[in-house]
Structure 1
Amino acid sequence: MKAVVYDGPRNVNVKDVPDARIERPTDALVKITTTNICGSDLHMYEGRTDFEPGRIFGHENLGEVVAVGDAVDKVRVGDMVVLPFNISCGFCENCERGLTAFCLTTNPDPRMAGAAYGFADMGPYNGGQAELLRVPYADFNCLVLPEDARDKERQRDYVMLADIFPTGWHATRLACLNPGETVVIYGSGPVGLMACHSAMIQGASKVWQVDCHPDRLALAERAGAIPINFEQTNPIDKIMEDTGGKGADRGCECVGYQATDAQGSEHPNITLNNLVNSVKFAGTIGVVGVYVRQDPKHPDPLYKHHDGEVAFDFGEFWIRGQTMGTGQCNVKNYNRQLLALIVAGKARPSFVVSHELSLEQAPTGYEHFDKREQGWTKVVMHPDGGR
C-alpha cells in the first residue's frame, strides 16, 4: 500500500509499504478514503518529538471496512466508519470510566497511558495517511456513519469527528463553559476554531479568539468570535476592556508548547500565563494544546533541559482561585453526540477545510501547512484519489 512515511525533520514521502492487515481477531481493516493533516502532526514533522523515521503519520481517519477479525461482532464489511485518534480497549479501568485517551492496555510502555495512530509515544501503531489502516478493538473504536458518508462532501464533516471537533468540544468542557457565559480561546488553528464552533453551539454569549494569522482569525469571525490579533493588540487589555475589568468567564488553550510572542519567538508558557490574566477570578481554563515532557530542540532553556517544565505564574493562578483542566480528548465521550449534531445540520466543522489533496501530494501539504501559509487552514487528503 502507499503511505505517508516520516523520514526525518520536515521530510515526509509517499512510499510503498507492506499492507496493513488483520493481526488479532478483534481487528478491522479499513480502506481509508479521507485522512487529515493535524496541527499536532507538525510537532513530529518538525522533529520536535521522538517520532521514529520510517513510521506512518495520520490519526484523523475515515474509511470503509473491508475486512474484520473473527471476534468482531458489530462492525460489518462495507460500513463507513470514523476512527477516534485514541486507540482504546473499552474494558480497562480508565476506559470503563470514559477516559479512553488514557487506556491502560493499548500502550506497551508501562510509563504511559493511552495510544493513538501514528503518534509519538502513543504506542507502535501505524497511522492512517495510507490506503489501509488496521483498527484494534474495532467494535469499540469504530463509529459507524450514516450511508451518506460515502459522499466525499459529507466526509469533510464526518472526518473531523476523529479528533479536532471532539478536541475543540473537550476544551470547552474542561473549561466548564455554561450557556450565556463568555470564553476566550487562545489559538485559531483547526482545534481553536472547533472550540469556537463548539462554544457557539453550547450558547456562549461572547467568544474572543486570539491568534496572529489573519486568515484563521477571519474564519473565527465567521464562526461568531471577536478576533484579536496579538501582534496588533494586547489580548489581555482587550478582554479586560470588553468585560469591564472582570475577565472572561472561561478560557481555552488551543496552542501548545510551540506558542509564540508578537515577535515570533517561542515561549511555551505564554498562552498559559495570558489565560490566567484573561480569565476572571474563580474562572476555569481548559488546556488541549499539546505539551510534552521534554523538547530538546526548544529555544527556551528551561523547557529544553528540565523535562518540559514551564515558567507558569502559579502565584497569580492561585490568587485568582482559578481551576484548570488538561489533557488529550477522550474522543468517544463526544463523537456520537457530535455526529448527531452534524446529521441534524447543527454543526458544520468542515468550514475549516482549505485544501483537499491526493495522498501523493502529502509532502506539499505538509510543507505549506507547516509554514502556516496564508489560506492553509486545514488539509484533507484522499488516498483513493478522491474517487
Structure 2
Amino acid sequence: MQRLVFDGPHTLRWEEAAEPTLDAPEQALVRPIAVATCDIDPAIIQGRFPLAGPYAFGHEGVAEVIAVGDQVTTVRPGDKVVVPFQISCGTCDSCRRGRTGNCTTHPFMSSFGLGPMGGLAWGGFFSDLVGIPHADAMLVPLPAGVDPATVASASDNISDAHRTVAPYLATDPGAEVLVLGGPAAASIGLYAAGLAVALGSARAVYLDTDPERLAIAAKLGAEPIEGKPTERVGRFPVTVEAAGGSKALVAAIRATANDGVCTSVSVQTQDVALPMLEMYSRCCTFHTGRAHVRPTIPQVLDLVATGRFDPSVVTTQTVAWADSIDALLEGPVKLVATR
C-alpha cells in the first residue's frame, strides 16, 4: 500500500509500505477517505515545531471500514466512521472515566500520525489502510447524510474546540465567549467561536488580526473584532486562547470574568509566568492540555447532523488525494484531502 511520510521540514513523500493486518478479534482495518490537517501540522511541516521524521503522516479523518475481527459488533465493512486520533482501549480506568487521551493500556500519548510523540507503530491517516486496535471502543459511525469531508477534523480539532465551550455553556446557558484567535491553533479557535454560537452563547467574540480568519468567524455567526490578542475587549465568563505565545495566554486569563473559565488550546513550548494573584482574586479556572476526543465526537456529529453547526466553513482548501503533498506544503488554515 501507499502512505505519506514526513521526513523533515518541507519534505513529504509517498512510499510503499506493508499493509496492516487483523491480528486480534477486536481490531479493524479502515481506508481513510477524507483526511484533514491538524493545527499543529503546518508548524511541523515548516519546522516550527520540533518533531523529527521520518514517520507516517496524518491524524484527523473519516474512513471506510474494510474488515473487522470476530469480536467487533458496532461497525461492519462498508461503514463510514470517524477515527479518533488517540489510541484508547475503552476498558481501562482512564477510558471508563472519559479520559481516553490517557489510556493506560498503551504507552503514554499513543496516537496516529504524530511520529515519536505518539508512537511510531500506529501509522498515519494519509495511507491506503490503517489498523484500528480497539474498533468498538474507538470508531464512531458517521450519521446518515453527513459529508465525510465536513467532519474530517472531528478526530481532533473540532472535538478540541468543543471542550472549550460546551461544558460551560451547558451549566451557564447563554454565557458570553471570547476567543483569542491566531496562527497557533487557527482552526480550533474558529471552531470554538462557531460552536459557541451553535450552543447558544449570547455573544461569541472572535479577536484576531488576520482578515481571512476574521471573515470565517463572521460566517460562523461570531462577532469578529480586528485586533491583537493582547487588546482588551471586555471580560467574559468563557475565554479561549488559540493565538499562541505567552502574551496571548496571559491576556486570555486577564479577560476572564469573575468565576470564569479560560482554556488554552495552543501548545506552549516555553514556561509562562501566570498572573496568579489575579486568578486567585477572581476565582479564575484555567485549563490546558490535550483534549480527550473520543467521548466528544458523537456530540460534535450530532450538532452537524442536526444542522446546528457547519464545520466546513472553516475548511479553506479541499484537494484530491494525489495533490496532498503540494497542498500540505502551502499550509492553508484547514486542508481536507479526499478520495
TM-score, scaled to structure 1:
0.80
1:123 equivalenced with 2:119 (yes/no) = yes
Which residue type is aligned with residue 28 of structure 1? A
Distance (whole Å) between structure 1 residues aligned to residue 62 and residue 230 of structure 2 = 40
Q: Structure 1 residues 79 and 276 mapped into 2: Cα distance closer, same or farther (>3 Å)?
A: same
Which residue type is aligned with residue 95 of structure 1? C
1:252 equivalenced with 2:240 (yes/no) = yes
What SS does the corresponding residue of 1:140 show, helix, strand or coil? helix
Which residue type is aligned with residue 46 of structure 1? Q
Q: Structure 1 residues 228 and 290 mapped into 2: Cα distance closer, same or farther (>3 Å)?
A: same
Which residue type is aligned with residue 249 of structure 1? P
Distance (whole Å) between structure 2 residues aligned to residue 346 and residue 147 of structure 1 = 15
- Pairwise CA distance, 1:20: 3.0
> Quick check: 2:8–2:47 contact (8 Å CA) kept in 1?
yes
- Pairwise CA distance, 1:352: 1.0
1:162 equivalenced with 2:155 (yes/no) = yes
1:9 equivalenced with 2:25 (yes/no) = no
Give the stretch that moved more between structures: 334-343 or 313-322: 313-322
Distance (whole Å) between structure 2 residues aligned to residue 194 and residue 26 of structure 1 = 33
Match of 2:290 in 1: 328
- Pairwise CA distance, 1:59: 1.0
2:180 to 168, 175, 186: 186
> Quick check: 1:175–1:285 contact (8 Å CA) kept in 2?
no
Alignment of 1:126-145 (within 5 A): 126-145=123-142
Distance (whole Å) between structure 2 residues aligned to residue 123 and residue 82 of structure 1 = 20
Match of 2:277 in 1: 315
> Quick check: 1:85–1:117 contact (8 Å CA) kept in 2?
yes
Give the stretch that moved more between structures: 58-67 or 282-291: 282-291
> Quick check: 2:169–2:199 contact (8 Å CA) kept in 1?
no
1:200 equivalenced with 2:188 (yes/no) = no
Match of 2:251 in 1: 274
> Quick check: 2:262–2:287 contact (8 Å CA) kept in 1?
yes
Distance (whole Å) between structure 2 residues aligned to residue 361 and residue 380 of structure 1 = 11
Distance (whole Å) between structure 2 residues aligned to residue 64 and residue 210 of structure 1 = 38
> Quick check: 1:58–1:128 contact (8 Å CA) kept in 2?
yes
- Pairwise CA distance, 1:204: 0.7
> Quick check: 2:169–2:175 contact (8 Å CA) kept in 1?
no
- Pairwise CA distance, 1:95: 0.4
Distance (whole Å) between structure 1 residues aligned to residue 102 and residue 168 of structure 2 = 20
Match of 1:62 in 2: 62
> Quick check: 2:62–2:149 contact (8 Å CA) kept in 1?
no
Distance (whole Å) between structure 1 residues aligned to residue 48 and residue 26 of structure 2 = 34
Distance (whole Å) between structure 2 residues aligned to residue 228 and residue 235 of structure 1 = 10
1:36-81 superposed Cα distances (whole Å, 9 cap, x missing partner): 1111223332334553422111111211111122332332111111
Distance (whole Å) between structure 2 residues aligned to residue 74 and residue 155 of structure 1 = 19
Which residue type is aligned with residue 362 of structure 1? S
1:102-131 superposed Cα distances (whole Å, 9 cap, x missing partner): 111122xxxx3x321112522232110122
Match of 1:354 in 2: 316
1:217 equivalenced with 2:173 (yes/no) = no
TM-score, scaled to structure 2:
0.91
Alignment of 1:37-48 (within 5 A): 37-48=37-48
Distance (whole Å) between structure 2 residues aligned to residue 2 and residue 157 of structure 1 = 24
Which residue type is aligned with residue 68 of structure 1? V
Match of 1:265 in 2: none
Which structure 1 segments of 5+ residues have no match? 241-246, 260-267, 293-302, 304-308, 370-375
> Quick check: 1:13–1:362 contact (8 Å CA) kept in 2?
no
Distance (whole Å) between structure 2 residues aligned to residue 23 and residue 270 of structure 1 = 49
> Quick check: 2:145–2:305 contact (8 Å CA) kept in 1?
no
- Pairwise CA distance, 1:30: 0.6
Distance (whole Å) between structure 2 residues aligned to residue 155 and residue 277 of structure 1 = 39
1:304-330 superposed Cα distances (whole Å, 9 cap, x missing partner): xxxxx2233333323332111222222
1:377 to 328, 333, 336: 333
